[in-house]
Chain A
């Protein structure tokens, strides 16, 4: 990022290739809609470019990037008032049906993302970041919460997913 801020455009391209898929999945899993996910992802990268000259290497780039993304998601939720029905609901119904068809039918990641998008945002984001390989400490930094809170959110998220699939929770 510092190289891009110094005028090296190729450095950004390299950075983008490394992080773009992680970010897109995180955003898609948060909003549950491909169109909205593209929009939020683009807003995030636009903000990154706009802040390039102010970026310092005091924090890991990934933490910085996903923190920006999370804020863009909050903006998105405010705009769309997330409580209403979304395109993700259809995918969730499809996913639930698939699970009940039999164990041979595998969960599809896009279906899972759609299901995660139905979770409360804090829980869904924590789970997505965990699945993207972030440590608890990094997730805590990104979502601006304590590590214990993050663990709790992830636990609730998994529990809710199991419940959504209609197979009950482990006791």
Chain B
């Protein structure tokens, strides 16, 4: 049914368009003020520290800072306080907290280092400070329970700290010791090789001390007669 009064679609649209209602001024002002207040920072002004970039920055700082921390000199503990058993018991694997682990590892490393004083001054000179640092660093990164120090190690270390034999159970440990004599000394042949090298370099005092420690650790291993002869030549 259709009537004359019936508003057609066109009439409805015309009515809609006739008086174009406008947004109230008060609303306009509020919105524009809000836009002013919330305007994003103009790009290119200063740094935009997004969470992702902040994370990258933290990683970079740690990457630079950690090696410096690891290579920093560890405190030397008087060798008179050195106790083989204590060295083992204070290893990081038995410490209660990460902080204590770190402290214990440093103490153990320092004690091992201080043990170098026992054989002789020249033997100590053979002990590369880098190696001691590397050992300390390796211990720093060992998770609790991840490393065991053989009981004989402390004894060996008393005579020659570089001979610390560590059976690394973690990839990190073995990786950190790929170029470390301590890992090499876990193998009797390699140990003998290092002794032979000391002898060849005429560092006989260190070679002899190292050999003595070797004998305690591996009494059953047969040693090449040439090396024995050379060591015996040492006055």
Interface positions of A (Cβ within 8 A of B): 4-9, 12-13, 16, 20-21, 23-25, 28, 34, 38, 41-42, 45-46, 49-50, 52-53, 99-100, 103, 106-113, 131, 158, 161-162, 165, 167-171
Contact = CB atoms under 8 A, between A and B. Distances in A.
18 contacts: A4-B39, A5-B40, A13-B35, A21-B23, A41-B23, A42-B30, A42-B31, A45-B34, A52-B40, A107-B7, A107-B15, A109-B16, A109-B21, A110-B19, A111-B15, A113-B16, A131-B13, A165-B6
Contact of A131 (B17, B22, B28): B17
Contacts of A161: 7, 12
B235 interface: no
Contact of B16 (A8, A24, A131, A162): A131
Contact of A99 (B7, B16, B26, B36): B7
A49 B23 contact: no
Given A9-B39, A46-B31, 4 more contacts: A6-B42, A99-B7, A109-B15, A131-B17
Contacts of B20: 21, 25, 109
Contact of B24 (A23, A38, A45, A170): A38
B9 interface: yes
Contacts, number: 121
Contacts of A131: 13, 16-17
B15 A7 contact: no
Contacts of B5: 99-100, 103, 167
B23 A106 contact: no
Point out which of B16, B22, B26, B34 has the most chain A C-beta atoms below 10 A from its C-beta: B16
A4 B32 CA distance: 12
A7 B15 CA distance: 40
Point out which of A4, A20, A52 has the most chain B C-beta atoms below 10 A from its C-beta: A20
Interface string B26-67: 111011101110111111010000000000000000000000
